[in-house]
Structure 1
Amino acid sequence: MSASKEQPLAGLRVIDLTRALAGPYATLLLAGLGAEVIKVEDPRHGDLARENSPYVGRDGVVVQKAHDDDVSISHLSRARGKWGVSLNFKKPGALDVFADLIRDADILVENFASGTADRLGIGYAAAKAINPRLIYCSLSGFGQGVDEGAKAMDVIVQALSGAMYASGGPGEPPVRMGIPIADMLAPVFGVIGILSALEQRHRTGEGQQVDVSMLGALTSFVGIENWRAMRLAGLPRRTGLTVHRLSPFGIFKCRDGHIAIVAAHDPLTIGLFKAMRADDMLADARYATRDARVANAILLEERITEWTSELSVAEAVAALEAEGVPVAPVRYPEDALADPRVVAREETMQIVHPRYETDAELRTVGVPIRFSDAQTGFADRLPVAIGEHNDAVYRDLLGYPPERIAALREAGAI
């Protein structure tokens, strides 16, 4: 992509009050799309993600932090491309600094527990009074004004959303998704809301609050399947590695691993049976139609598993691809992150410590959006230390004289 192409959100300024994952991922996406993101951290502790093991630094990847410039891989991934300043909202003078930060900003993102921002004096009402054009995005566990003060971590939201009983097999314990799906979905909806509010501001000139709940985001995804309808129809809702109502559809064991097969429609099913060299199944009324296959899903999947279990992953994939059946090996995450297709599109990116060489195979998230006439990517900056860019923002951007910065530092505000 031409380096001359502009980023879509170039010229927009974001004040980032977030921490942990949900909020920082939202602002990471905005940074990757070209917005200028100023990350605000408490000078005493900083973002919670700074303390997430493992770390990377002069000794490579380590479990325990050994040097001041060891950086949590979580923080390195989520703080890329952001300016970093420190500000303690509870100290004298801090709210004046907050006002100066947001006065000319376009977007603010926070993910405090509901009600916390208002108690700190930095909630939407206070921000709107300073900058009526500000898009103020609030990400919380349950939504603004709901269960104020309640903390909602990803596993809590997964439990409440029903997602844990959407996976796994009959009689098995609930299954926690291995990626923090609630923490990732809410910020994606947050960015959609922010961009929608910006478009509305083009027409009205006014900003507004965008309110996204983690529980609502994940539950809306769970709701794409009609669980009660399946129950009333007598269809099993938890079928483990396969989906009976789409059979044959799911994960099947091979000699040396597993493969995913999709053959729900008649032509694909015929291709599957041909790959299996199962002429008897081609003529079997139990498998002749989609509804018949659903009704006989257990028997059908047993036959498929008998076949795949005798083959290696490579052999099974080759046989199915030869018949035009959608199939893929089930890969480990680190292998998937290095797929040449996603690497070429920068949908995953190498982790780079700002001072030390890092393992080329260490990869993290990119921006999985391509544009025909714009580019994405992260500016070459990272707040390694808390308040790394205080001078660049408070002195150069806001125009504070040295004596004011010194007074704020002395008061513990920055």
Structure 2
Amino acid sequence: MSSGPLSGKTVIDLTTALAGPYATLLLAGLGARVIKVENPTRGGDSSRNNSPYLTAEGLRLRRTSPDDMSVSMLSRGRGKESVTLNLKQPESKQVFFDLVRNADIVVENYSAGVTERLGIDYAAASAVNDRIVYTSISGFGAQGVPGDGKAMDTIIQALSGVMMTAGEPGDAPVRFGLPIGDLVAPLFAVIGTLSAVLDAERTGKGQHVDVSMLGSLTSLVACEPFDALESVGFPLRTGSFVPRLAPFGTFRAQDGWFAICAPTDAFARGALTAIGKAELADTDLFATRDARVDNADLLHRMIGDWAAERSLESAIAALEASSVPVAPVRDTAAAVRDELVTGRGEVTPLVHPKFGHHDGLYGSGVPMVFSRSQIDISAPAPGLGEHTDSVLGDLLGYDPDRVEKLREAGVL
């Protein structure tokens, strides 16, 4: 039994791809029992068919045996049980509703309107369990939009305005390499889900939690008043630096890059001391925050010229000696291997159920540390339908003959 804070809660996971499965991954890591419902006619979650695959011989672009599993599923399927259920078959509804009766939460990320057409929407689920918390993650919200309403991460990045917050003025839009739209929405979905669970425990009534990818990402863009900043002369796109917080940004040394964040008077004085310009800290150019903002280009150019003549190690050492917040810009391989994050379980090795861990494969942990509860996301991802018989038998009480008849009818 899990000792996580959500121990005793059961989640019916109807999600696929990334946004939904990441939400249920977090719920599983927090201790909930997550039962992943997958369509057997389409090979299950689309993530199962994302190249590359972990095979007995290592990573490959194509499958070589039925035991091979995509890296995407190795990461997103951890800690879950897999049940196959063809929700387009009429007989599947009874199985689905029996699952809902025994659950606390349903999470789905179909396009708006699909669950209603299938007869498995919140109205249908709440009719059999009025305590159910039913969370929907979609591109634009449950009300949908004109057209097909389908959304991928890059579409959401484009619509949210986030592509125009990075790069230099006049540059082409910059797509974030991290699928930020697909990752932000599930965070809000988990917050909403757990809030609704608390409310259901208080009131005895569940509810529908409706989270849109566009709204989630745009809400973060709105945290910075870009329009107002532009109106007083700050460019929307500032490249490597943030002039209104100078000195603040990334700089190139001879053998690598580093970042500094030194907007306060004390930190700025430290930066000027480190580059051998301590006497400028009390001048009209840099003595105050407003003065440094006015002269941000000059200040950043001075630091950049100084850095260009030094090794990364010596530049960082000089800034640290002057108590300036500074760090090297690391690549992802170095970042995910940092003992600070692996030791806290914030990043964890990915393990294939048969082939074990392949060096270099790491996945998201649950980046929270509780004083009493235990977080565990180490259980390998399941094979497609691996737990169908046990879930239907042990949880729902179906006898083996009934399960076999459902399988013969194409329901499972």
TM range (shorter): over 0.9
Q: Distance in 1 between matches of 2:2 and 2:269?
A: 48
**2:150 is matched with which residue?**
151
Q: Which residue of the partner structure matches residue 133 of structure 1?
A: 131
SS in structure 1 of the partner of residue 75 of structure 2: helix
Change in Cα spacing, 1:369 to 1:262, as seen in structure 2 (3 Å) is same
SS for the counterpart of 2:402 is: helix
**Offset of residue 232 of structure 1:** 1.0
Shift of 1:281: 2.6
**Corresponding residue for 1:171?**
170
Q: Deviation at 1:150?
A: 1.1
Equivalence for 1:104: 102
* Alpha-carbon distance between aligned partners in 1 of 2:393 and 2:292, rounded to the nearest angstrom: 69
Partners of 1:114 and 1:357 in 2: how far apart? 38
Indicate the residue corresponding to 1:405 in structure 2: 403
Alignment match, 2:26: 29
Give the one of 10, 13, 24 matched to 1:13.
10
Q: Is the 8 Å Cα contact of residues 10 and 34 (structure 1) preserved in structure 2?
A: yes
Q: 2:197 aligns to what? A: 198
Distance 1:230 1:379 in 2: 45
**Aligned twin of 2:347:** 348
1:95 Cα deviation (Å)? 0.4
Matched position secondary structure for 1:193: helix
What CA deviation, in whole Å up to 9, does each residue of 1:96-155 have, x standing for no partner?
A: 100111012000000000111111110010001011000000000011112174111111
Q: Is the 8 A contact 2:166 2:174 kept in 1?
A: yes
Give the CA deviation at 1:24. Answer: 0.3
| 1:206-233 per-position Cα deviation (integer Å, ceiling 9, x unaligned) | 0001110000000000001101111110
- Long gaps (5+) in structure 1: none
Aligned residues: 410
Are the equivalent residues in 1 in contact too, given 2:139–2:212 (CA < 8 A)?
A: yes
Distance 2:204 2:380 in 1: 32
Q: TM-score, normalised by structure 2?
A: 0.97
Q: Is the 8 A contact 1:236 1:244 kept in 2?
A: no
1:68-147 mapped onto 2 (5 Å cutoff): 68-147=66-145
Q: Secondary structure in 1 aligned to 2:202?
A: helix
Q: Look up the match of 2:212.
A: 213
- Give the drift of 1:243: 0.6
1:312, distance to aligned residue in structure 2 (A): 1.4
Provide the secondary structure at the position in 2 that maps to 1:136. strand
Secondary structure at the counterpart of residue 258 of structure 1: strand
Q: Which residue of structure 1 lines up, in the alignment, with residue 273 of structure 2?
A: 274
Instruction: Compute the displacement of 1:284 (Å).
Output: 3.4
Greater displacement, 9-18 / 236-245: 236-245
Q: What residue in structure 1 maps to residue 327 of structure 2? A: 328
Partner letter of residue 21 of structure 2?
P
Aligned-pair identity (%): 51
- The range that moved more, 266-275 or 387-396, is 387-396
The 1:370–1:279 alpha-carbon spacing in structure 2 relative to 1, beyond 3 Å, is closer
TM-score normalised per structure 1: 0.97
Q: Does 291-300 or 117-126 show the bigger shift?
A: 291-300
Q: C-alpha distance in 2, partners of 1:177/1:246?
A: 23
What is the rounded CA distance, in whole Å, between the counterparts of 1:374 and 1:162 in structure 2? 39
The DSSP-based 3-state class of the residue aligned with 2:320 is helix
List 4+ stretches of structure 1 deviating above 2 A: 279-284, 357-361, 378-382
Q: Deviations over 1:351-390 (max 9, x none)?
A: 1111113324321110000111111012635322x21111
Change (3 A) 1:306 1:380: same
Preserved CA contact (<8 Å) 2:269 2:278:
no
Q: Distance in 2 between matches of 1:129 and 1:341?
A: 47
Note the C-alpha offset of 1:279: 3.6
Segment of structure 1 superposing worse, 403-412 or 162-171: 403-412
Unaligned stretches of 5+ residues in structure 2 = none
**1:65 deviation in Å?**
1.6
Contact 1:5 1:373 in 2 (8 A): no
Which residue of structure 2 lines up, in the alignment, with residue 244 of structure 1? 243
Secondary structure of 1:298's counterpart equals helix
Contact 1:36 1:82 in 2 (8 A): yes
AA aligned opposite 1:230 = L
Retained in 2: the 8 A contact 1:83–1:381? no
3-state SS, counterpart of residue 241 of structure 1 = coil
| Secondary structure of the structure 2 residue equivalent to 1:361 | strand
Residue identity in the other structure for 1:225? E
Inter-CA distance 413–5: structure 2 relative to 1 (3 Å threshold): closer
**Residues 366 and 377 of structure 2 are in contact (CA less than 8 Å); yes or no, is this contact kept in structure 1?**
no
Q: Deviations over 1:44-66 (max 9, x none)?
A: 12101011111112011112222
The residue aligned with 2:187 is: 188
Q: Secondary structure at the match of 2:357?
A: coil
Amino acid at match of 2:193: I
Q: Distance in 2 between matches of 1:11 and 1:72?
A: 30
